Chain A
């Protein structure tokens, strides 16, 4: 159980900047997920916390104590690796006991802890097996058990589900969520899969190119993405982006002209100098409502994806982009038909040319300035 503080953490490999000024407060017992595309530095950040890489600049604190120069066991962390990295020549028991033995625990304590860990992870009957005689899911649990056995203050997971097949992934995801509830320990989890991030996290940290793009609960990230990057990354299928022109409309927000959909007033505040600047409208597929179009109006349906509980329509725009919108299943629309789209203005997002989200119109002028700058 521990809180973790990152203060302006930087990491360079030679001249390459991998992590830039990352500051973060992780509370005791929190489940935090680092998410981002490959190469965004999420795994490196986790390895910095683990102590497998050295921090170039900045301070890493666990429970208020600076731990930059401590070894992983001294920091009190446990880690689950992507490839599990079980010791192939040791039985499940020895794999779990290895760290405890190295910590010079009493033989009886070791045995007790191993058996308790195995019980929690339902590995009781497998203690004598070698890793090669285990299924992928079982290996995964042994890897978690090995990380848990020393009762670390913080548990780290490096893309632990990426080697499992889809069905097992959902099951193990649930097990990890359950484990977090049961152990109540601080957990940090790295993944490139936004579904894993959304389902597991108390708080998600979206990383892009070594920077923190946004930190927040899954709901915050979904409903109020701070940037076009976050908006595009969270949610599946991806948010639709359309280039629009905007005009300030006083307290109501701004009026935009959406090609193929029409004029809408969005409750978003334009920055003073961006009156004529090109903006990007972002609407999620689930917030677009299709209706059958008359004649040549609207968009042509190029594909219909039937998923059982819902269907997704893929629409062709005039400049040959693709829009995605959700419809009920079975879908009343067929390929080749035309539909018009509508959306609720308060559900839509506007992004400026730097990709920053425009703030809601009812926010005070002062804080608006602060957010944008």
Chain B
């Protein structure tokens, strides 16, 4: 009996140890960034895992740079536009792919999936030409266009999957009530697709917010940069100094919106990610 109790206790300890390892593995880098950002530059290279005194000078330094504030504004504009466009196009495409029977529907779905498999670098030069032709170089429009290309495939796929699960009779009831397809989509289906839209919208937002390669390539001036590029280009007093403090402070500042968004939509995301798994 006591042996069994001992085994249960040991198993429990082992379980929580594993959880602890996982937590440290996932959170430590971010934690260390926070700790570093709160240190004055004189203490930067002393290794410590705890904040003794809170020093906000790094944050003040970053936020007093007009280019960084502009970068945040650009990022917000770009990310929100990408989410809005991706959801609008994704929802309408999902309607067609999920509810309308037409020849070649599977082919279209496969093409959409195929597009998302190209690495960014592969399309970089081609996309550059497109953006130059459309006169969108060095403007948020160019980034919005290129991010939408990469967020649309998964938006369409996830929303199509959800759209297919909605019962046919619901759509038919709306038809009998005299609803046009657009009214059915916006008044009947959209409220039911909220979890899916929150999930895909958030994923699109994160993708657009964190993107680096396109942002670096398609912008030229400081005033048009987005946050990831702006952080990478923060420079110190001389070329031999890398200003870790301000860089970490900037990283923390741009991560906070994502964390807040995830916390707000957490319940919706969970129900969105699992809703396909079990009927009900």
**Could you list which residues of chain A lie within 8 angstroms of chain B, going by C-beta atoms?**
50-52, 71-73, 77-79, 81-83, 85-89, 98-99, 102-103, 146-147, 150
Contact = CB atoms under 8 A, between A and B. Distances in A.
B10 to A, nearest CB: 45
Given A87-B188, A88-B192, A89-B191, A82 B169 contact: yes
Nearest to B172: A52
A85 B170 contact: yes
Given A89-B191, A89-B192, A72 B175 contact: yes
A50 B173 CA distance: 11
A81 B172 contact: yes
Interface stretch (B20-28, B62-70, B147-155, B177-185): B177-185
Contacts of B177: 73, 98-99, 102, 146, 150
A44 to B, nearest CB: 13
B167 interface: yes
Given A83-B169, A85-B167, A102 B175 contact: no
Q: Is the interface of B mostly helix, strand, loop or mixed?
A: helix
A366 B191 CA distance: 65
Contact of A73 (B169, B173, B178): B178
A134 to B, nearest CB: 16
Nearest to B180: A102
A79 B187 CA distance: 19
Contact of B173 (A77, A79, A103, A150): A79
A103 B178 contact: yes
Central interface residue in B169, B172, B176, B187, by most chain A CB within 10 Å: B176
11 contacts: A50-B176, A71-B178, A82-B169, A85-B167, A85-B169, A86-B173, A89-B192, A98-B174, A99-B177, A102-B177, A150-B177
A358 to B, nearest CB: 44
Contacts of A89: 191-192
A87 B170 contact: yes
B181 to A, nearest CB: 12
A78 B176 contact: yes
A50 B176 CA distance: 8
Contacts of A51: 175
Contacts of A147: 176
A52 to B, nearest CB: 5
Nearest to A89: B191
A147 B176 CA distance: 8
A209 to B, nearest CB: 24
A52 B175 contact: yes
Contacts of B179: 98, 102
Contacts of B188: 87
Contacts of B187: 98
Contacts of A103: 178
Contacts of B178: 71-73, 99, 102-103, 150
A16 B170 CA distance: 26
A184 to B, nearest CB: 21
Contacts of B169: 81-83, 85
Contacts of B191: 89
Contact of A102 (B167, B170, B183): B183
Given A72-B176, A89-B192, 14 more contacts: A50-B176, A52-B175, A77-B176, A79-B176, A82-B169, A85-B167, A85-B169, A86-B173, A87-B170, A87-B174, A98-B177, A98-B179, A99-B178, A102-B178
A78 B176 CA distance: 7
**A-B complex: 9 closest residue pairs judged by Cβ atoms:** A99-B177, A73-B178, A85-B169, A85-B173, A89-B191, A72-B176, A81-B169, A102-B178, A79-B176
B135 to A, nearest CB: 43
Nearest to A99: B177
A73 B192 contact: no
A130 to B, nearest CB: 12
Nearest to B170: A85
B170 A52 contact: no
Nearest to A98: B177
A81 B172 CA distance: 9
B189 to A, nearest CB: 10
A76 to B, nearest CB: 11
Given A72-B178, A99-B177, A102-B177, A85 B183 contact: no
B167 A83 contact: yes
Interface string B245-271: 000000000000000000000000000
Contacts of A87: 170, 173-174, 188
B18 to A, nearest CB: 39
A52 B192 contact: no
A51 B172 CA distance: 10
A186 B13 CA distance: 72
A185 to B, nearest CB: 15
Contacts of A83: 167, 169
A99 B170 CA distance: 13
B173 A146 contact: yes
Contacts of B176: 50, 52, 72-73, 77-79, 99, 147
